[in-house]
Amino acid sequence: MEHSGAGRYLLAMKSILSRFAVLALVGCLTGAAPAAAGCLTASQAQKAVASGAVLRLGVIARAVGGEIVSAQLCESPQGPLIYQLAIMHPGGRIENIVVDATSGQRLR
DSSP collapsed to 3 states, 8-25? HHHHHHHHHHHHHHHHHH
pLDDT at 96 over 70: yes
Share of residues in the chain with pLDDT > 90 (%): 44
40 within 8 A of 34, measured Cβ to Cβ: yes
Structure-model confidence comparison of residues 36 and 62, the more confident one:
62
User: What is the reported pLDDT for 14?
Assistant: 57
Give the pLDDT band of residue 16 (cuts 50, 70, 90).
low
User: What is the reported pLDDT for 26?
Assistant: 42
pLDDT at 1 over 70: no
What's the chain's Rg over C-alpha atoms? 14
